[in-house]
Amino acid sequence: MRHSQSSARRLWALLLVLSFLVVSAGAASAQAKTEKTFTAVVTDAQGVDTEIRNLIFYWEEKVSETAFVPHELRHLPVKRGSTTNNIPFDKVKQVETKLAGSEGITMLVTLANGKTGEFVLTMPGSFRGESDFGQAEVPAKSLAKVVIK
């Protein structure tokens, strides 16, 4: 009888240790998957600068007359010619808008390495995040410049 109680205790101890390891591994995995946040100074068409933390590019996809799917991106969805690009915020130094033509919103993107390119925004959206005064949102069509810190 003592042998079975001893075995049961060891089994429970082993299960407890394994449970702890599984929970610890899950927490470490979740922490490793957290996305990098970005801070930027966003200038609107009136020349007003707003510092925005946790910057995202936000747009809504209409799936029916009454339903929309929100998209929060940490990259710029742009197009040049027939090529579609998703330029990650961590590679972007600055984005300036040019006069919008029939193609949509034209953006001059300067990368952190100094390379530049002219692109068209693939969907209307806005730059969102937190400012000192609360939630901030600047529609892309009202954008003059974004400087990522």
pLDDT in tens, 15-39: 444 455 455 555 444 444 567 999 9
Residue 146 has pLDDT above 60, yes or no: yes
Q: Based on the fold, state whether residues 25 and 96 are members of the same structural domain.
A: no
One domain for residues 15 and 44: no
The helix (H) or strand (E) run that includes residue 131 is: strand 126-131
89/114 same-domain check: yes
114 dihedral zone (left: phi>0; alpha: psi -120 to 50; beta):
left
In a shared domain, residues 62 and 29: no
The tally of domains found in the chain comes to 2
22 and 56 together in one domain: no
pLDDT per residue as tens digits for the range 98-118: 866 666 899 999 999 999 999
Average confidence score pLDDT of the chain: 85
Q: Are residues 21 and 84 in the same domain?
A: no
Mean pLDDT on 122-126: 92
Shared domain check, 124 and 57: yes
What's the half-sphere exposure (Cβ side, CA atoms, 13 Å) at 5? 2
Structure tokens at 80: 């040049």
Domain that holds residue 99: 40-148
pLDDT of residue 35: 77
State the pLDDT confidence band at 124, using cuts at 50, 70 and 90.
confident
Same domain membership, residue 83 and residue 110: yes
This prediction's pTM: 0.73
